[in-house]
Amino acid sequence: MTALTPAAIGLTTLLAHRQRPALGAFLPAGFPNWTAGIETLRSFVRHGADFLEVGVPHSMPTLDGPDITQAYAQALGQGARMAHVFSTIRLAASSTGAPVVAMTYWAPVLDYGVERFAQDLARSGAAGAMIPDLPVTEAGEWITAARAAGIHTPQFAPRSADSDQLDAIAKAASGWVYAPAAPAATGYQGELDLPALDAFTTRLRTTTSLPVVGGIGISTPRLAALVAPYVDAVVVGSPLIRPLLHETAAGALDGAMEQVRAFARALHRAGSSRALPA
**270 φ, ψ (degrees, to nearest 5):** -65, -30
Considering the candidates 39, 50, 64, 232, report the single residue annotated as catalytic: 64
Yes or no: domain 6-10+20-271 corresponds to CATH 3.20.20.70: yes
Lateral strand order in the sheet of 212-215: 128-130, 100-103, 51-55, 22-28, 233-236, 212-215, 177-180, 155-156
> In 10 A of CB 177, how many CB atoms?
26
Residue 3 has pLDDT above 90, yes or no: yes
Q: What is the pLDDT of residue 247?
A: 67
Break the chain into its structural domains and give their ranges. Answer: 6-10+20-271
Alpha-helical segments (H) within the chain:
6-15, 34-46, 66-77, 82-96, 106-112, 114-124, 140-149, 163-172, 194-207, 221-227, 238-246, 249-270
Distance CA 7, CA 108 (A): 23
pLDDT category at 253 given cuts 50, 70, 90 is: confident
Considering the candidates 50, 53, 67, 232, report the single residue annotated as catalytic: 53
Prediction pTM value: 0.94
Q: What is the pLDDT of residue 274?
A: 45
Angstrom distances, CA of residue 167 to CA of 176, 182, 209: 14, 21, 12
Distance CA 8, CA 40 (A): 22
138 is catalytic: no
Distance CA 186, CA 64 (A): 5
254 is catalytic: no
Distance CA 84, CA 102 (A): 12
Q: Which residues contact 230 (CB under 8 A, 6 or more apart)?
A: 179, 194, 197, 198, 201, 212, 214
Residue 136 has pLDDT above 90, yes or no: yes
Closest CA to 120 of 98, 151, 75, 94: 151
* pLDDT tens digits along 46-67: 999 999 999 999 999 999 999 9
